[in-house]
């Protein structure tokens, strides 16, 4: 049996196929403006027996696609992460539109989680907008921030207010890499707060697209004073977990 | 229905266009949220009717009462003793505060970071869309939270019949004395309003009527302990909401009729949801009509609500008033005793509330508790953290939600609620 997991996030869609507990294919595309046709595009030409959807588009997908089941991002990330890190007890997931911290028990069950509410503060979208404002590509942003020592303090967590704060720092002639580092630190502080609220124990597994940012990983480890583990493909954790949950359900 | 009642609403000085729009939204919401439910008890038909006539027939009844010289008293809080109102030959009704209305207008009078409930009460007044408020001969405000206290200062300039009741904040003997004095003062105010001297017999009768109403809700609550749950949380919440509007005797009878039906359902192992559906206790801020957002999200995400630790729920209706007193003073003492037990978050410390949440979670077989805090409602949001810690120390999962009457966070809330249900049902 081949099980598929599809994670329809706000920024990207991931598809993972699993057979005999092994990943046999991964695919990714942008979510764009029409998540369902993008999802169908990413599924083109792949064969599977059962599919489970996660991510904010999961319910849309369930309606559009017969015989699909759904699971929340929280449970899906937990299942995906445990496949790669079977001992993990704490997960930080920062995606495009939301961020969450999850505490697991020894069996890998979710015992507590926190999610940002209605705004995009402290998410991938926040970093993306700020990178753009400072003239960095998303790939350059983390390394550029990591390359300097000093971080300028950014007080606003709100994307809109942080934007004007950044504008005024630029106008003062501040170094854009130091501003970038300050922005990273503001996201890190928020994430640490979320992890503390769930009582995270042991090493933290960092998943979601933002885990690809080396500065975020480094600063998280520094702020927590503990190990931060990043899966090989952090963006795939939701889709992988969904596929694994589907496989176990059968 | 707007055709028939338009002259009546007009006579109350209401804004008919705005009111039509409001009723349109209410009707749509009721259809989508209530009528879309499966396996509802037949007895809910009564509440469907009440809701379809909530600004119509019920208002007509109140206006007919007024023609007979009966006074209408409106309130925003469970601390206003209905026993005394009834004893004075008046009728008590809850006033509208469960939906956003005329928000821009409201924000001329209240800071943006005021909770939805307070803003809503202003919105219904400023928009002239609450027939209960417009029918009321006396509006009772009360010094509960700081938001309400200060809001009534402004509200006093918008109506000419506001009466503000002071409330204690500590469960001390001085606190109790204050409540007793305030109830005495309220009794005099009711007598002045109605021109009726409250007698021992009348007060005893008032106690009896209100006790019967509460007892019916207690009976309903107990039946919800069954698995499968015989009634949805949405429907039970509706009964708790209508408690504040309906004719007391008719309400009691209707709830008891539903209870008879639920007893049969339980015997036959029938439920509104399948056996072993994850069970959730809601705790926190009151949900006034038509604030059904969170219960709707919960019950369309695969769980059933088995209890409401809320003013519109068990916190408001818990405990009967001792009716054994033979003198005015004994009865007033008994009324004071009963209301002094209400564990509103304005009290400090408020250990009783936390104990009650634990007790309810156990009694109703809840698998988890969702703490519902209205954004900017400091007392309940403050309490939500120790409540969560207490529950989790006992191994009872708890999730704290902070939201308002807006619908823009439904997607986010649904993800959190679904994840919580996954967490408690695995």
pLDDT digits (tens, 9 = 90+) for B274-290: 999 999 999 999 999 99
Q: Which residues contact B200 (CB under 8 A, 6 or more apart)?
A: B326, B327, B328, B331
- The neighbouring-strand residues paired with A100 are A93, A115
pLDDT digits (tens, 9 = 90+) for A125-135: 899 999 999 99
Cβ–Cβ below 8 Å for B412 and A72: no
Share of chain B above pLDDT 70, in %: 99
Mutate: best of B293, B371, B415, B424, partner A, most A CBs <10 A: B415
Instruction: Determine the pLDDT at residue B3.
Output: 55
Q: Which of A58-62, A226-230, B61-65, B80-84 has the lowest mean pLDDT?
A: A58-62
The average confidence (pLDDT) of chain B is 97
pLDDT digits (tens, 9 = 90+) for B349-395: 999 999 999 999 999 999 999 999 999 999 999 999 999 999 999 99
Interface of B with A (CB under 8 A): 392, 397, 402-403, 408-409, 411-412, 414-416, 418-419, 422-423, 426
User: Kind of pairing, strands B368-374 and B398-403?
Assistant: parallel
Q: What is the DSSP letter of A199?
A: T
Average confidence (pLDDT) over A208-230: 96
What order do you get walking across the sheet with B279-284 strand by strand?
B304-309, B279-284, B368-374, B398-403
Cβ–Cβ below 8 Å for B422 and A112: no
Q: Which residues contact B301 (CB under 8 A, 6 or more apart)?
A: B414, B417, B418, B421
Q: How many CB pairs under 8 A join A and B?
A: 43
Q: What is the DSSP letter of A175?
A: -
Mutate: best of B418, B420, B424, B425, partner A, most A CBs <10 A: B418
Report the gap between the CA of B225 and the closest CA in chain A (Å).
25
Cβ–Cβ below 8 Å for B412 and A113: no
Report the gap between the CA of B85 and the closest CA in chain A (Å).
43
What order do you get walking across the sheet with B162-165 strand by strand?
B90-94, B71-75, B138-142, B162-165
- Is the CB of residue A63 less than 8 Å away from at least one CB of chain B? no
**Looking at beta carbons, which residues of chain B come within 8 Å of A197?**
none
Mutate: best of A118, A123, A198, partner B, most B CBs <10 A: A118
Q: What ipTM does this complex have? A: 0.91
- Is the CB of residue A56 less than 8 Å away from at least one CB of chain B? yes
The residue of chain A nearest to residue B417, with distances taken between CA atoms, is A72
Q: Which two tokens stand for residue B278?
A: 């994850």
Q: How far is CA A249 from CA A80, A242, B121, in A?
A: 15, 10, 49
Q: Which two tokens stand for residue B286?
A: 């009151």
Q: Which two tokens stand for residue B68?
A: 């007979």
pLDDT at B342 over 70: yes
Length of chain A (residues): 250
pLDDT at A163 over 80: yes
Among A188, A129, A119, A118, residue whose Cα is nearest residue A153: A188
Average confidence (pLDDT) over B36-58: 96
Q: What is the DSSP letter of B318?
A: -
Report the gap between the CA of A175 and the closest CA in chain B (Å).
36
Q: How far is CA A27 from CA A31, A38, B301, in A?
A: 13, 12, 29
The residue of chain A nearest to residue B419, with distances taken between CA atoms, is A72
Report the gap between the CA of B28 and the closest CA in chain A (Å).
22
Average confidence (pLDDT) over A58-79: 92
The residue of chain B nearest to residue A72, with distances taken between CA atoms, is B419
pLDDT digits (tens, 9 = 90+) for A73-127: 999 999 999 999 999 999 999 988 889 999 999 999 999 999 986 677 788 989 9
A16 contacts A55 by C-beta, under 8 angstroms: no
Q: What is the DSSP letter of B274?
A: -
Instruction: Determine the pLDDT at residue B240.
Output: 98
Instruction: Determine the pLDDT at residue A65.
Output: 87
Question: Which of 87-146 (A) contact B at CB < 8 A?
Answer: 98, 109-113, 115, 117-118
Cβ–Cβ below 8 Å for A112 and B397: yes
Report the gap between the CA of A206 and the closest CA in chain B (Å).
19
**Looking at beta carbons, which residues of chain B come within 8 Å of A75?**
419, 422-423
DSSP B331-361: HHHHHHHHHHT---TTSSS-HHHHHHHHHHH
B139 contacts B133 by C-beta, under 8 angstroms: yes
- Where are any strands of DSSP class E within A10-166? 12-19, 22-30, 50-54, 68-70, 90-94, 99-104, 110-115
Q: Which residues contact B29 (CB under 8 A, 6 or more apart)?
A: B290, B292
What's the CA gap between B104 and B265, in Å, rounded? Answer: 47
- Is the CB of residue A72 less than 8 Å away from at least one CB of chain B? yes
**Looking at beta carbons, which residues of chain B come within 8 Å of A113?**
419, 423
pLDDT digits (tens, 9 = 90+) for B218-248: 999 999 999 999 999 999 999 999 999 999 9
pLDDT digits (tens, 9 = 90+) for B96-142: 999 999 999 999 999 999 999 999 999 999 999 999 999 999 999 99
Instruction: Determine the pLDDT at residue B181.
Output: 98
What's the CA gap between B90 and B38, in Å, rounded? Answer: 38
- Is the CB of residue A74 less than 8 Å away from at least one CB of chain B? yes
Residue in the structure block whose two tokens are 């997991």: A5
- Residue A151 backbone dihedrals phi, psi, to 5 degrees: -115, 130
Instruction: Determine the pLDDT at residue B332.
Output: 98
Cβ–Cβ below 8 Å for A110 and B426: yes
Length of chain B (residues): 426
pLDDT at B1 over 50: no
A229 contacts A204 by C-beta, under 8 angstroms: yes
Among A118, A138, A119, residue whose Cα is nearest residue A129: A138
- 3-class DSSP state for residue B305? strand
What's the CA gap between B25 and B54, in Å, rounded? Answer: 14
Q: Which two tokens stand for residue B376?
A: 């900017």
Closest CB to A118: pick one of B409, B414, B426. B409
**Looking at beta carbons, which residues of chain B come within 8 Å of A111?**
397, 423
pLDDT-derived band of residue B2, with 50, 70 and 90 as boundaries? very low
Report the gap between the CA of B240 and the closest CA in chain A (Å).
29
Cβ–Cβ below 8 Å for A72 and B419: yes
Q: Which residues contact A127 (CB under 8 A, 6 or more apart)?
A: A138, A141, A183, A184, A187, A210, A213, A216
A228 contacts A203 by C-beta, under 8 angstroms: yes
Closest CB to A113: pick one of B402, B409, B419. B419
The residue of chain B nearest to residue A76, with distances taken between CA atoms, is B419
Q: How far is CA B151 from CA A65, A90, B106, B145, B148, in A?
A: 50, 44, 11, 10, 5
């Amino acid at each position: 049996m081949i099980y598929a997991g599809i994670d329809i996030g706000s920024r990207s869609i991931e598809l993972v196929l699993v057979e005999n507990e092994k990943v046999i294919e991964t695919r990714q595309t942008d979510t764009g403006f029409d998540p369902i046709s993008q999802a169908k595009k990413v599924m083109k030409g792949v064969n599977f027996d059962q599919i489970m959807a996660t991510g904010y588009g999961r319910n849309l997908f369930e309606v559009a696609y017969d015989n699909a089941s759904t699971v929340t991002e929280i449970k899906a990330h937990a299942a995906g992460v445990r496949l790669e890190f079977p001992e993990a007890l704490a997960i930080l997931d920062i995606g495009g539109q939301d961020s969450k911290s999850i505490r697991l028990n020894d069996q890998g069950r979710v015992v507590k989680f926190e999610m940002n509410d209605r705004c995009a503060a402290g998410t991938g979208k926040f970093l993306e907008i700020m990178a753009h404002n400072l003239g960095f590509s998303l790939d350059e942003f983390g390394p550029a921030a990591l390359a300097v020592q000093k971080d300028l303090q950014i007080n606003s967590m709100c994307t809109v207010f942080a934007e004007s704060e950044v504008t005024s720092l630029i106008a003062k002639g501040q170094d854009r890499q130091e501003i970038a580092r300050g922005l990273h630190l503001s996201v890190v502080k928020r994430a640490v707060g979320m992890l503390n609220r769930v009582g995270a124990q042991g090493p933290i597994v960092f998943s979601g697209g933002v885990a690809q940012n080396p500065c975020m990983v480094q600063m998280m480890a520094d702020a927590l004073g503990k190990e931060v583990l990043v899966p090989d493909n952090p963006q795939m954790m939701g889709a992988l977990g969904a596929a694994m949950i589907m496989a176990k359900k059968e | 229905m707007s055709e028939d009642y338009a002259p009546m609403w007009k006579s109350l000085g209401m804004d008919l266009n705005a009111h039509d729009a409001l009723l349109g939204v209410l009707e749509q919401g009721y259809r989508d949220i209530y009528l879309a439910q499966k396996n509802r008890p037949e007895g809910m038909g009564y509440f469907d009717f009440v809701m379809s006539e909530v600004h119509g027939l019920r208002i007509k009844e109140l206006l007919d009462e007024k023609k007979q010289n009966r006074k209408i008293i409106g309130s925003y809080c469970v601390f206003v003793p209905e026993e005394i109102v009834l004893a004075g030959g008046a009728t008590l009704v809850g006033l509208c505060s469960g939906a956003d209305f005329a928000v821009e207008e409201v924000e001329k009078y209240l800071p943006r970071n005021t909770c939805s409930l307070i803003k809503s009460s202003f919105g219904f007044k400023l928009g002239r869309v609450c027939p209960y408020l417009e029918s009321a001969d006396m509006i009772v405000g009360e010094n509960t939270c700081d938001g309400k206290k200060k809001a009534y200062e402004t509200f006093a300039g918008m109506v000419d019949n506001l009466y503000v009741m002071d409330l204690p904040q500590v469960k001390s003997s001085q606190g109790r004395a204050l409540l007793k004095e305030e109830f005495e003062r309220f009794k005099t105010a009711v007598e002045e309003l109605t021109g009726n001297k409250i007698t021992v017999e009348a007060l005893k009768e008032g106690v009896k009527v209100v006790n019967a109403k509460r007892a019916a809700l207690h009976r309903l609550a107990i039946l919800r302990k069954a698995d499968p749950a015989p009634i949805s949380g949405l429907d039970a919440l509706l009964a708790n909401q209508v408690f504040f509007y309906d004719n007391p005797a008719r309400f009691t009878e209707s709830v008891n009729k539903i209870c008879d039906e639920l007893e049969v359902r339980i015997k036959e192992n029938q439920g509104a949801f399948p056996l072993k559906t994850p069970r959730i206790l809601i705790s926190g801020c009151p949900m006034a009509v038509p604030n059904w957002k969170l219960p709707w999200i919960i019950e369309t995400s695969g769980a059933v609500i088995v209890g409401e630790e809320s003013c519109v729920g068990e916190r408001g209706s818990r405990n009967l008033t001792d009716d054994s007193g033979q003198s005015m003073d004994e009865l007033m003492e008994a009324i004071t005793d009963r209301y002094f037990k209400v564990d509103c978050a304005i009290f400090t410390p408020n250990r009783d509330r936390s104990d009650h949440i634990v007790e309810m979670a156990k009694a109703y077989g809840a698998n988890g508790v969702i703490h519902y805090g209205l954004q900017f409602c400091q007392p309940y949001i403050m309490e939500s953290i120790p409540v969560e810690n207490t529950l989790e120390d006992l191994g009872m999962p708890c999730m704290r939600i902070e939201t308002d009457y807006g619908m823009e966070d439904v997607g986010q809330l649904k993800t959190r609620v679904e994840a919580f249900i996954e967490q408690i049902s695995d």
